[in-house]
Amino acid sequence: MSIWLVITRKELLDAIRDRRALMALLLFPVIGPFVIYFMFNTIVDIAEEAKDLTLPIVGAEYAPDLVDFLEQSGIKLTPIVNEYETSSEARNSKPYIYPARLLADIREKIENRTYDFVLLIPPDFSIRLGESKTVNLELFHESSRATAQAKMGRVQQTISAWHQETASLRLMARGISPTIARPVSIEKIDVASPQARAQRILGMIPFFIIVAAFVCGMGIAVDATAGERERKSLEPLLVNPIQRTSIVVGKWMAAATFSGLGLLLVMVLNLLALNQVPLEQLGLSFSISATEIIGIVMITLPLAFFATALQLFVGIFAKSFKDAQAYLSVISMLPMAPLFFNIFNTVDRELWMSLVPMLGQHMLLADVVAGKNPPLFDFAVAAVSVVLFSLVFIYGATLVFKRERIIFS
Amino acid sequence: MIEVDGLRKRFKQVRAIDGVSFSARDGAITGLLGHNGAGKSTSLRILYGLLTADSGSALVDGINVMNEPQKAQENIGVMTDAHGLYPRLTAREHIEYFAQLRKLDKSIIDKRTELLIEQLAMEEIADRRAEGYSQGEKMKVCLARSLIHNPQNIIMDEPTNGLDVMTTRSVRTILQTLKDQNKCILLSSHIMQEISALCDEVIVISEGKVLMQGSLDALLTSTGESDLEEAFMSITRASR
């Protein structure tokens, strides 16, 4: 058996018995798919809720026409009873103003999430309408409540449809064509609805995969470098007649094994999560073929070697677990760089990006997830680049490993 | 057989050893005696190939450690100052790991492992993980893994440091057995009783220089003292 393999086997045995390393391997990959599953379901729920809409309304009795129109548009109305004004005489006296306590009540119920919004119809609705004046409807809402945005949008659309209709009727009653008052009509074609949000979530998958490469192998990388130094087990190890390169490679392969397993686990779990999400309800379809899966594995697996090579190189400078953890948590932030790059630069993938470790993988993965098929050449460039970077780090680690200072302090 | 000649080593501004020469013959236990920081560990580390000397030579069975460190390491079993055990591996796994690193055959590994476990009375801890071992148990594992390849030369840095009387005694017994097998044993210590109880030859080292090498009796006669401690004091005092 090759020496590096002896070392890899020992490090893996050690890691499997190490609860910390094992937790990193098994726990982290679950987080990403869980988040994605949860977010998708929320979006689906929001989309579903907008279809099935109830609108709390005050003063429905003053505007029977509008109420009919809203109900015909499929909006269910929940009348809020004005319990501060019990006598119907007072309510019908003119001019009538809603009691301040009722308004305060509405605000409170929106704040404590009993309602997302409330439509307030003024008591003089029919009178002003009859006099062809403008009626002031009031829509109470909470703009920071993101989940209510879709429903709000629908309420506003329905009201403005009624507004258009009424305006047209008024003009026609005066023998004027409604088009005169409407020189321009805008038809909004919404493409950035739930589908777009879903696409954005799919865009997070590459990030989770790349982070997994860093997180899952870190336990071994730390243990095999700073751990050996802290335990002072490096000196006894090095009195054996073996090449330092074999030691570094052996440790690298052990860490890369964990990192690679973590990667695969994230991918499998993500696929499972996407299978569970009712994507078709968003009008999205996510189908992935076996070749695409092989493609994704080919893009990401070299990252396991890259991430752990970098971690070994940095970890070897650390004298203790604590030091190493501090250094390596900074490194674990690196996968965020391509994510931000992607957020702030909405450019398409270009070939040079494949040369940059992690950025290349991120962009390629994003393309694959979005259903595009990047050319095979770009995959190869990304893989070769990452492997070359890894070898540089491993060579560097071997050089550092040969320093006397590293062994004895 | 170990021969060291004119070793010098400097760490930045500190001169750790400054012309160390000594030899350790087969079939004898040779003790490197000196204060903390006298240069014992540095000399030994150069011998087993982990430090490079600035000048001088170190031969193990005639192999120059500077030129062929790995070939020299094949003929040495080393017990370092720090035990450096892996807390999640058992004693047997520690021994087998080092045996595999030395590319021994599976059948030899099994045979030697069993033999060492028996010789060192390690049956109880053989399949227990190293976390929670006592000092003596740790020492035994280190000794076993350094002897797995049956080396001709055995180098031990402070072997009985921190051991209780019982374990110290069993270490002595093992060293006597190894000596009877005509091995070359070189150990360092700053404990006088240890050296006088164990060693055939004593090398007195102080401030990076060898002050004297000879048998215990020769040391006592040349200084005119009745025990090693007094002899050691008088030798180091005379050098200042």
Q: Is residue A193 scored above 60 in pLDDT?
A: no
SS3 assignment, position A125: helix
Q: Is residue A191 scored above 60 in pLDDT?
A: no
B23 with B110, same domain? no
Tell whether B57 is covered by a domain.
Answer: yes
The average pLDDT across A346-371 equals: 80
Structural domains in chain B (count): 2
Task: Tell me the residue range of the domain where B146 lies.
Answer: 82-150
B60 with B93, same domain? no
Q: pLDDT tens digit string along B27-52? A: 999 999 998 888 999 999 999 999 99
Q: A233: nearest CA in chain B?
A: B84
Q: Is the ipTM of this complex over 0.90?
A: yes
B192 with B223, same domain? yes
Q: B65: nearest CA in chain A?
A: A241
Q: What is the pLDDT of residue A285?
A: 64
CATH, range A53-188: 3.40.1710
Q: What is the pLDDT of residue A188?
A: 64
When mean pLDDT is compared across A84-98, B108-122, B173-187, the lowest value belongs to A84-98
B65 with B92, same domain? no
Q: What is the pLDDT of residue B66?
A: 92
Average pLDDT, chain B: 91
Compute the distance between CA of residue A247 and CA of residue A178 in angstroms, rounded to an integer: 84
Q: B146: nearest CA in chain A?
A: A236
The average pLDDT across A207-221 equals: 88
Check residue B49 and give left, alpha or beta (phi > 0: left; psi -120 to 50: alpha): left
B70 with B10, same domain? yes
Q: pLDDT tens digit string along A359-403? A: 888 888 878 777 777 888 888 888 899 999 999 999 999 999 888
From chain B, the residues in CB contact with A234 under 8 A are 84
The shortest C-alpha distance from A325 to chain B (Å) reads 19
CA neighbours closer than 13 Å in the CB half-sphere of residue A304: 24
Q: Which residue has the higher pLDDT, A84 or A160?
A: A160
Q: Which residue has the higher pLDDT, A156 or A341?
A: A156
Q: pLDDT tens digit string along B59-109? A: 999 999 999 999 999 999 999 988 899 999 999 999 999 999 999 999 999
B227 with B155, same domain? yes
Q: pLDDT tens digit string along A108-160? A: 888 888 888 889 888 888 888 888 888 888 888 888 777 777 788 888 888 88
Tell whether B167 is covered by a domain.
Answer: no
**Residue A375 identity:** P
Q: What is the pLDDT of residue A402?
A: 87
Q: What is the pLDDT of residue B176?
A: 93
B70 with B88, same domain? no
B129 with B196, same domain? no
From chain A, the residues in CB contact with B76 under 8 A are 239
Q: What is the pLDDT of residue A369?
A: 72
Query: Residue A348 has what DSSP assignment?
Result: P
Domain ranges of chain A: 3-43+196-408, 53-188
Tell whether B169 is covered by a domain.
Answer: no
Q: Outline where A277-358 has alpha helix (H).
A: 290-315, 321-331, 336-344, 351-355
B105 with B50, same domain? no
Q: What is the pLDDT of residue B156?
A: 94
Instruction: Answer for the pair B144, B122: CB distance below 8 angstroms, yes or no.
Output: yes
Q: Is residue A281 scored above 80 in pLDDT?
A: no
pLDDT cut 70: percent of chain B above it: 100
Name which of B18, B93, B80 is nearest B44 in CA terms.
B80
Q: Is residue A236 scored above 80 in pLDDT?
A: yes
Name which of A157, A197, A188, A158 is nearest A45 in CA terms.
A197
| Non-local CB neighbours of B217 within 8 Å, separated by 6+ positions | none
B102 with B208, same domain? no
HEC readout, B131-152:
CCCCHHHHHHHHHHHHHCCCCC
Q: pLDDT tens digit string along A15-57? A: 999 887 788 778 888 888 888 888 878 877 777 766 678 889 9
The average pLDDT across A346-367 equals: 81
Q: Is residue B151 scored above 70 in pLDDT?
A: yes
A237 touches chain B (CB under 8 A): yes
Q: Is residue A10 scored above 90 in pLDDT?
A: yes
| Non-local CB neighbours of A234 within 8 Å, separated by 6+ positions | A228, A406, A407, B84
SS3 assignment, position B215: strand
Give the sign of the dihedral formed by CA B8, CA B10, CA B14, CA B16. negative
Q: Is residue A194 scored above 70 in pLDDT?
A: no
Domain boundary among B107, B129, B150: B150
Tell whether B134 is covered by a domain.
Answer: yes
Compute the distance between CA of residue A281 and CA of residue A394 in angstroms, rounded to an integer: 48
Q: What is the pLDDT of residue A86?
A: 64
The shortest C-alpha distance from A223 to chain B (Å) reads 10
Q: A229: nearest CA in chain B?
A: B84
The average pLDDT across A352-358 equals: 84
A231 touches chain B (CB under 8 A): yes
**Residue A202 identity:** L
Structure-token pair, residue A271: 């696929």
Q: Is residue A83 scored above 80 in pLDDT?
A: no
Residue whose tokens read 């704040």: A111
A242 touches chain B (CB under 8 A): yes
Q: What is the pLDDT of residue A345?
A: 67
Compute the distance between CA of residue B188 and CA of residue B119 in angstroms, rounded to an integer: 23
Name which of B198, B186, B180 is nearest B77 in CA terms.
B186
From chain A, the residues in CB contact with B102 under 8 A are 240-241
Across the interface, which of A3, A232, A239 has its CB nearest the CB of B50? A239
B125 with B208, same domain? no
Q: What is the pLDDT of residue A286?
A: 64
Residues of chain B in Cβ contact (below 8 Å) with chain A: 45, 48-52, 69-71, 73-74, 76, 78, 80-89, 93, 97-98, 100-103, 129, 142, 145-146
B88 with B66, same domain? no
A2 touches chain B (CB under 8 A): no
Q: What is the pLDDT of residue A190?
A: 56
SS3 assignment, position A80: strand
Compute the distance between CA of residue A79 and CA of residue A85 in angstroms, rounded to an integer: 15
Interface test with A, best of B51, B92, B101, B156 (most A CBs within 10 A): B101
Q: What is the pLDDT of residue A64?
A: 86
Q: pLDDT tens digit string along B205-226? A: 998 999 989 998 888 888 888 8
**Residue B158 identity:** E
CATH number at residue B69: 3.40.50.300
Instruction: Answer for the pair B196, B27: CB distance below 8 angstroms, yes or no.
Output: no
